[in-house]
Every structure is written in C-alpha cells, then in structure tokens.
Amino acid sequence: MPFSLTPGEIYETIRMIQSENLDIRTITMGISLRDCASSSVARTATKIYDKICQKAKRLVSVGEEISREYGIPIINKRISVTPIAVVGEACDGRDYLPLALAMEKAAEQVGVNFIGGFSALVHKGFTRGDENLLNSIAASIAATERVCSSVNVATTKTGINMDAVYRMGHIIKETAELTKERGAVGCAKLVVFCNAVEDNPFMAGAFHGLGEPEATINIGISGPGVVLNAVKNNPQADFGTLAEIIKRTAFKITRMGELAGREAARRLQVPFGIVDLSLAPTPALGDSVADIIEAMGIERTGGPGTTAALALLNDAVKKGGAMASSYVGGLSGAFIPVSEDAGMVRAVEEGSLSLEKLEAMTCVCSVGLDMIAVPGDTTAETLAAIIADEAAIGMVNRKTTAVRIIPVPGGRVGEKVVFGGLLGSAPIMPVSRFKADSFIRRGGRIPAPITALNN
C-alpha cells in the first residue's frame, strides 16, 4: 500500500508550515566510499570526489523540486560518507587533509550545505587510519567550509576510551585556535560521541555507517514551533493529556517527513533509509525547545522541573514518531543546542541555565552538550573531563550522547560569540574552576557497565 496523507492531514500540514515554522531540516544522502580505498592518498581523494559527484549530482535539484511541488520548506541538503578513517586506512600517506579537501570540493560541486564523515570510531582503540585521521582533524576543519568531523570515543558495550577522550580535548583546542578569526566556528563542525549511530542525518555528527547500503536517503525533520503551539493551546491539560497531545503532533510531523523522504529516494533511485524526528531548534523566535519547556509551566528553562519537562517532551516525540513510521532512526528526540535555540540563549543570559544543569538535561533528551561556548582559557584536560562525563551518561543509560563545545580564544564569561545562520550565537558560559587533570591523564579505558544483575 503506497504511503500517503489524507486531505485533512495535508491542510493541517500547510497550516503548520505557514504559521509554526514546520520544515524539513535536512535531506541527507548517505554514500558508501568503501570502494574508494587506494594505496595512494591522491588517488583516494580523486575517487572520493568522483563518487560523491556521481551519486549526489541530483540531490539538490530533487530537494528543490519536492519543496516547490509539495510546498514543504527543505532547509538543507547534505551528504554523509563512510568514516574517512576507514577509507584512508589503505593509503601510504599519513596526512588526510587531501581527503577532506576532496570532500569539500565535491560538496561545493553538487551544491550541498555540509558533508559529514571525516570521522573515526575509536571507542576501543586506535588503528593506523584512526591515528592519521585524528592528527588531521584540526587542519582539515580549518581548511574547509562544509566538511564536518565526528569521533566516537565510547559505547555501552566497550566502555570509554579515555586516551581518545584526552586526545579530543587537545584537538578541540587546536581547532579553536586555527579558526579563531571566525569565532572558533571550526569547533561547531566537530562532535565527540558515545554510542554514535550509523544513520544520523544531522550535522556535525552524520556519517554513513558500515552497515548501510551503497547509498540512501535519510530525512531530518524539525517542528519545535508546531509542538510549542500545541502546548500553548492546552494550558490546563494534565501531564497524561499533554503527552498525548505532543505524541499526536509528532505523529503528523513524522508522516510529512517520511512522505518527502520517500519521494526523494524514488526520484534519486536509492533506498529510503530513515526519518529522524528530532525537534531541532533554530535561532528564530518561536522555534525553540526551551520555549516548549516554559510553555509547560517552567518560569525559565534551567529552573526546577526542567529535566522532568524535557523527559516528557522527548518521550512523547519518540512515541508519536514510532507510531507514524516503521523507519524512525537517527537520534530522534529533542535537541538542546544552546547557540541554535533563542530560548536557551535567553536562559543562559538570565542565569537560570548552567553547564551542570545542561548535563543533567542530557540524561533524558537526544544527544548531549551541544553548541556550548566556554572561555578560551579552558584547558584541554577540562574539555576532556566534560566529554568523559557526557560519555558516561550515554554509556550507562544506553543512549547516544555527544559534546560539541567551543572554547573561544580570548573569550570571557558573559561575552557573546556570533556564528551566524542556523548556528546562531552563544553567550560564553562559566566552567568549574576545579581541575580534573590527574584523572584525565590516567589513560586507559573505563570499563563498560554491567548489563545483567539489574536491581
């Protein structure tokens, strides 16, 4: 039976688009580069460029066609590729900057906004390719505009690779320094994961997993404005009723996203992958997860009750999406990126939202500490300790967590750094003055949690 929307659902979708900031945040084409491996870095770079251009040559035009024909805004068209640490492993060279430049050139040629997959999976240790990629991250991000990088340092089954965590603290610092003339924006294209997923369409953490097909289409939808309106229209609803309202809203949003994704996959002649139903905010007023929390009755996001409100929101969104589609994947939940959410920025500026409270909130939402600006003198050891804390939350709770943190060179607490576009702007947040240097320098691996003998 073909996937379709009823006339009533179509009319309601039009209303959501026109007045509530509903959009498809991204159509992301995943492309396998496993057959691009070569003993020569230059040859590998050429094969990467050729394959991306061949596979994604119609991605942008198809996205624009669907947007025009269906009246659905599609904000970004993106590409994710096989982790470059895997593709580059056969190369005799140790510098993977040429591979990043090939990705950049291809992304520019086909017209996409971002390309993800300058990535490595090092949760249990480092291969030669992993080492080469990590050593190339900072220079590659600084030399490109569209290339995004991610590194998975932990999983529930393997524990936390603390050597990798420490390395990432230094890489983030190096990336910030190399892009300081642009407000350390390079760090916005670098994310550190625990339990990274293979089909995430959102940047900066998207890569095309080893279990994925030759090519696929993954959809990332949005809709904080739609959910906010639903919550505002029911100010007296009890929590069970409110959860049902949010669930029904997420159902409608997901059906719209899957319809567009399947049509894009059909026209591009690749399999449809997943729809990621994450509530992805923007700096635009009314398109904020923080505003949803406050509409539930919290005076300001970060205050008492915030974590409970976010837990309700995240769970209801997941349940509604799961009822709407059999192909829900990616991260799917509620994002809380500070710089990309006007309500979060307001909460930080008014003193209700701290780094510690954000960490608590990540226990119950999608991903983790996202787009957070901290003082430029924050040490690599402190950054690594923040990453370790977030990885521990993901590892123990069997969920994806991540850190995208920006130590702004020369930046001080209370100042503001502007990134522009969907990345928004962020107030620089204070970090604890107490050090964890000796802890981080121990190295080795924090063992995986026990998954039996549950009490």
pLDDT digits (tens, 9 = 90+) for 267-280: 999 999 999 888 87
Is there a domain that residue 37 lies in? Answer: yes
Is there a domain that residue 126 lies in? Answer: yes
Q: Which ranges of the chain have pLDDT less than 50?
A: 1-5, 11, 18-19
Structural domain including 370 reads: 224-257+282-442
- The predicted structure's pLDDT at residue 452: 61
Q: Which position has the token pair 């919550």? A: 231
Is there a domain that residue 202 lies in? Answer: no
71/152 same-domain check: yes
271: left (phi over 0), alpha (psi -120 to 50) or beta: beta
Is there a domain that residue 320 lies in? Answer: yes
- The predicted structure's pLDDT at residue 24: 82
Among residues 152, 179, 194, which one ends one of the domains?
Answer: 194
Model-level pTM greater than 0.85? yes
What total number of domains does the chain contain? 2
40/178 same-domain check: yes
The closest alpha carbon to 432, from 391, 389, 402, belongs to 389
30/172 same-domain check: yes
Residue 354's CATH number: 3.20.70.20
Is there a domain that residue 208 lies in? Answer: no
Residue 195 CA to residue 39 CA, distance in Å, equals 30
* Dihedral angle computed from the Cα positions of residues 382, 387, 388 and 392, in that order, rounded to the nearest 10 degrees: 150
- The predicted structure's pLDDT at residue 7: 54
70/182 same-domain check: yes
At a CB cut-off of 8 Å and minimum separation 6, what does 454 contact?
none
138/178 same-domain check: yes
- The predicted structure's pLDDT at residue 41: 95
91/155 same-domain check: yes
Among residues 173, 194, 215, which one ends one of the domains?
Answer: 194
* Dihedral angle computed from the Cα positions of residues 354, 360, 365 and 370, in that order, rounded to the nearest 10 degrees: 40
Q: For the chain, give the mean pLDDT.
A: 89
151/288 same-domain check: no
- The predicted structure's pLDDT at residue 329: 82
The H-or-E segment that residue 358 falls in is helix 355-361
